[in-house]
A and B are shown apart, each in its own frame.
Chain A
Amino acid sequence: MSNNYRFDRHRSPRPQSPRNRRLGENRIPKKKPMISHSHPPSELKKNQNLSRFLAQFRARPDRGRLYLVWLILFLSGIGLAINLFRLQILQGKLLTQQAEEQQLSRSRPFVPRRSIVDRTGNILALDRPVYTLYAHPKYFTKNENFIANNLIPLLVNTSIKEKTPAELVALFQTKKTGIKVAELLPEEVADKIKNLLIDGLDLFPMQQRLYPQEDLASEVVGYVDSERKGQAGVEYSQQNLLERTMPELRYRRAMNGAWIPDQLATGFVQFDDLQMQLTIDTRLQRLARESVRQQMEKFKAKRGALIVMDAENGELLALVSEPNYDPNQYYKFPQERFKNWPLTDPYEPGSTFKAINIAIALEAGVIKPDSLFNDQGRIIIEGWPIGNADYSSVGARGMISVSDILKYSSNVGMVRIVQQLKPQDYYQALQKLGLGQTTGSDLPFEVPSQLKKREQFLGSRVEIATTAFGQGFSITPIQLVQLNAALANGGNLVIPHVLRGLFNSKGEPYWTPHKSPPKKVFSSETTRKVLTMMEDVVQDGTGKNAQIPGYRIAGKTGTAQKAKRGGYSKSIITSFVGIIPMERPRYVVLAIFDEPQGGSGALVAAPVVKSVMESLISLEKIAPSQPQSLLNN
């Protein structure tokens, strides 16, 4: 209405009637409602104005101008409608597609591979972002020399081949786009390059597996290759547990140009905080590795290995295999180092197997701990001479007990014991222990132990005789530990493993591997008797070097000639297996040294087992059996 009034004033230059003007003075326009039935004079005026305006409009001669304006507006409206039709209907699909191409991106969000931690939570493997620097000289807005001069100082100590700005400028001139300048740049270098704000440089993000502990546990953890596939250790065997997958997500370009996901997928904002926990204790692993290295150096041994296993459940607390490699730079090492030889290389265990044979004979009931056997020192079976290692110095020992046979590691005595068993029973017992098979551990590439074929074994007396003192068949170190663990835990064949399961950041288990109940291979009475004999070995026999004052330890040395084609070579493989503590046997420690220059199991391996057991005592807080003897030392 007020518009009408204004129109009125503009359109009609005639002076207002005095009556009207007075009315205008009388009203209070701001407070007055537009339509009010309680004030008829106002409505009358409005109606008057409207009819007057219409009359004037009809009477005006220059209303063509209004038509013109109306026409322009109308035509513009039509034009807009046509354009809208063109954009929405005719080109709608094409334009939507173009917009989506520019603003949307569909990709799987990058989810880092799960971390691997040890039993105390130390990280053994984690993902970190790295960058590849590409140069596109076509898009350079600054001088190439300027760019090269700024880049070179940042790229020192990286994978860049060009060492001077001039060389980098020469590289820029080779291609117009897509020149790879440097790879695997850490984040801090990438940030510095970004801050230079140089057009034509592109940083392509990638993820790299970082092993902060370097070579500490590489035989267990393994490594991931450049295609992010695990190639050794649990990185290989537990690939499906370590990789996280995510559904494909749509990303939208935000106002500031950053890509943000435009929908939420389950577990995207909070991807699971699960970590793979291993049973390895890095503290023990570090001390064990150091001991093995020192001993290898001392005896110039070719290879060394050490395994610590919890006999109650089969958890491996340490697994050292020397020489090993740094998984951060796996490409710098020869391939044979990746295989983890304590699992892949069966060897003839020698005397360390004697305790197992005695357990078999005791279990079969053919001998008793105090049974006496004639040790002639040297015998001939089927034309093959079999003698004790100390025959030249000690000669024949005569009638000795089973316990002494183990204590002095008498080969002839062992042959006599095994001869009490029926060959087929003996073979069956060996098979029951898992010889000829793998232990079923969760580490990859495990090789089965090798036992002669039944016909060959039963058909030859010398085969049985050599098996009695641990030669003529081969077994992996991991399996030897498993068999000794059965002696420690009362006769159960537990499966050695390194995987504890997936745990969240609070340490709560999310997934743990299914464990089948262990196979019972010996009675607990048998194992108790054998352990007592093995304790004698450490106290008075060949294993004295493993003694720890205050602690009761069971153990057995082993020195075996290495088999070669058609016989045995002069080189030896020495080992020592120890079990601690005797009151409640729990931990089995095996050390093996391949081809030490001189020495025996007692001399080379036993001291290493001792030092590792000392560390184990501190870490696992094993109380001494005889505290008084600790005070005396």
Chain B
Amino acid sequence: MKNVVSPLKRPEKVDSPSKVTPITHATKIRSKVNIIPVFPATPSPPSWLQSLFNIQSFSTIFTLTLLAISLGVYSQTIYIQKRWSDQYQSLEKLRRLEQQLNATNEVLKHEIAGTGVHPSSGLMPQNPHDMIFLESTPNSTEKILKIPPKNPEKSVPILSPKSTPLGY
């Protein structure tokens, strides 16, 4: 460490190794200032103070991190509790609605059926005479199964609009 620094006349001289550590970022200032202050030699801070500074900076970061985490956890706790409360209440509400819907539906069904029994309603119970019974055609499924599914030529005529529809 040098005690004396000669004043800077030109910017080129800044890079000289014999000079004090240059202030490289202050190019503009350098052009204005002609005199560089001269510092007396000072001993480096005692190691205990240095370590205290270190501890302080580390603990500040640590504390801030902890604070952020705890705030996050706390807000999550509150948020989850609120969500749980809301969701539980909506569940309860849905259950109530389901129950009300079921009850109303059944009561209505009963009332409609009750009015239907009266002769004045114009309704009458189903009677075998009014029913249509169709004889089952046991061979129909066999016929369909006999068609080879891999052969498109044979299945096309069945699906073509020209053939008689089976359903009518």
Let me know if A618 and B131 touch, CB within 8 A.
Answer: yes
For residue B59, CB closer than 8 A to chain A, the reply is no
For residue B155, CB closer than 8 A to chain A, the reply is no
B107 and chain A: residue at smallest CB distance: A212
* A128-B103, A216-B110 as given contacts; A287 in contact with B125, CB under 8 Å: yes
- Could you name 6 residue pairs across A and B whose Cβ atoms are closer than 8 Å? A26-B37, A40-B1, A122-B109, A550-B128, A614-B126, A619-B126
Binds B, one of A41-49, A132-140, A354-362: A41-49
Let me know if A22 and B37 touch, CB within 8 A.
Answer: yes
CA distance in complex: A286, B39 (Å): 111
Binds A, one of B63-71, B79-87, B139-147, B157-165: B79-87
For residue A518, CB closer than 8 A to chain B, the reply is no
Let me know if B103 and A210 touch, CB within 8 A.
Answer: yes
> Chain A 224-265, CB within 8 Å of chain B: the 1/0 string?
000000000000000000000000000000111010110000
CA distance in complex: A550, B103 (Å): 41
Residues of chain A whose beta carbon lies under 8 Å from any beta carbon of chain B? 19, 22-23, 26, 28, 34-35, 38-41, 43-44, 46-48, 112, 115, 122-123, 126-129, 187, 210, 212-214, 216, 254-256, 258, 260-261, 269, 286-287, 290, 548-551, 611, 614-615, 617-619, 623-624, 627, 630, 633
Let me know if B129 and A624 touch, CB within 8 A.
Answer: no
* A123-B102, A126-B102 as given contacts; A258 in contact with B109, CB under 8 Å: no
Count of residues in B whose CB is under 8 Å from the partner chain: 41
Contacts of A44 in B (CB 8 A): 39, 42
B141 to chain A, nearest CB (A): 19
Of the candidates B26, B81, B128, the one whose C-beta lies within 8 Å of that of A624 is B128
For residue B113, CB closer than 8 A to chain A, the reply is yes
Contacts of B127 in A (CB 8 A): 614, 618
Q: Label chain B's interface by main secondary structure.
A: helix
- Further pairs besides A123-B103, A254-B85: 8, Cβ < 8 Å: A28-B25, A39-B21, A40-B42, A123-B102, A212-B107, A213-B110, A549-B129, A623-B133
Residues of chain B whose beta carbon lies under 8 Å from any beta carbon of chain A? 1, 21, 23, 25-26, 29, 33, 37, 39, 42, 44-45, 50, 53, 57, 81-82, 84-85, 88-89, 91, 96, 99-100, 102-103, 105-107, 109-110, 113, 117, 125-129, 131, 133
A504 to chain B, nearest CB (A): 15
Let me know if A286 and B113 touch, CB within 8 A.
Answer: yes
Contacts of A112 in B (CB 8 A): 99
CA distance in complex: A44, B96 (Å): 76
A50 to chain B, nearest CB (A): 8
Let me know if A41 and B39 touch, CB within 8 A.
Answer: yes
A264 and chain B: residue at smallest CB distance: B84
